[in-house]
C-alpha cells in the first residue's frame, strides 16, 4: 500500500542539509517526521497559502526543505508549482530543496528541469513510516534545488552531474 507520509531518513536529510542547507523550514511535515523546528503540516495547508511561507514565522526563513507527500492521491505537480511560486514572489526564501520521486517524462518533471538543479540520488531511499524502515517506494528518487534568481547570475539547472548517495 502506497503511503504519502514517508519520512526522509535522517542520514539522507543530513547529506542534503550539508550540501544545500542549513534549512530553516520543513514545508511538508508533521510532528512525528519534521526535520526542522519550524515546519508546516497538513493543517497549515501550505499549498493554499496566499502569503509567502515565511510570513507565518518570526525568524527569517532562507532555506526550505520539502519532501512533499506523493502517491496516487497526492500528485507532485502542485508542490512543484508552489515551490517555484514561492521563489517568484517577494520573501526571504532563497533556496528550496525538494526530495521527489523520479519523474522523467512527467509534466511536472519537464516543468522543473529548466528551473532547478536536478540531483541524482544513488540507490533506493529506505524511507521511514512512523519511524520504522519500510520497503522503498517503487520509484527511484531525485533532489531538485530551486534558487531565487540573482541579477547577472545563472544558477545551474537540469542534470548537472550532482549526486547524493541515498543508501545507508
What was the pLDDT predicted at 136?
A: 61
What was the pLDDT predicted at 129?
A: 83
The percent of residues in the chain predicted with pLDDT above 90, rounded, is: 63
Checking if the pLDDT of 161 tops 60, the result is: yes
pTM of the model: 0.93
Mean pLDDT of the chain: 89
pLDDT tens digits, 92-124:
999 999 999 987 778 999 999 999 999 999 998
Checking if the pLDDT of 4 tops 70, the result is: no
121-126 — which CB contacts under 8 Å span 24+ positions?
121/12, 121/163, 121/164, 121/165, 121/166, 122/163, 122/164, 122/165, 122/166, 122/167, 123/165, 123/166, 123/167, 124/166, 124/167, 125/8, 125/9, 125/12, 125/99, 125/166, 126/9, 126/167, 126/168
Mean pLDDT value across residues 29-54 = 91
What was the pLDDT predicted at 137?
A: 62
Categorize the per-residue pLDDT at 1 as very low, low, confident or very high, splitting at 50, 70 and 90. very low
Q: Which residue has the higher pLDDT, 49 or 86?
A: 86
Amino acid at each position: 500500500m502506497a503511503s504519502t507520509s514517508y519520512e526522509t531518513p535522517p542520514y539522507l536529510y543530513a547529506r542534503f542539509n550539508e550540501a544545500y542547507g542549513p534549512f530553516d523550514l520543513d514545508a511538508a511535515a508533521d510532528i512525528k517526521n519534521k526535520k526542522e523546528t519550524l515546519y508546516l503540516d497538513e493543517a497549515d495547508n501550505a499549498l493554499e497559502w496566499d502569503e509567502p511561507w515565511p510570513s507565518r514565522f518570526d525568524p527569517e526563513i532562507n532555506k526550505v526543505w520539502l519532501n512533499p507527500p506523493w502517491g496516487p492521491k497526492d500528485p507532485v505537480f502542485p508542490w512543484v508549482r508552489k515551490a517555484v511560486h514561492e521563489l517568484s514572489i517577494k520573501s526571504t526564501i532563497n533556496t528550496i530543496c525538494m526530495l521527489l520521486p523520479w519523474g522523467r517524462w512527467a509534466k511536472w518533471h519537464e516543468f522543473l528541469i529548466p528551473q532547478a538543479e536536478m540531483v541524482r540520488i544513488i540507490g533506493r531511499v529506505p524511507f521511514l513510516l512512523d519511524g520504522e524502515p519500510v520497503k522503498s517506494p517503487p520509484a527511484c528518487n531525485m533532489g531538485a534545488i530551486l534558487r531565487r534568481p540573482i541579477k547577472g547570475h545563472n544558477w545551474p539547472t537540469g542534470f548537472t552531474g550532482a549526486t547524493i548517495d541515498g543508501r545507508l
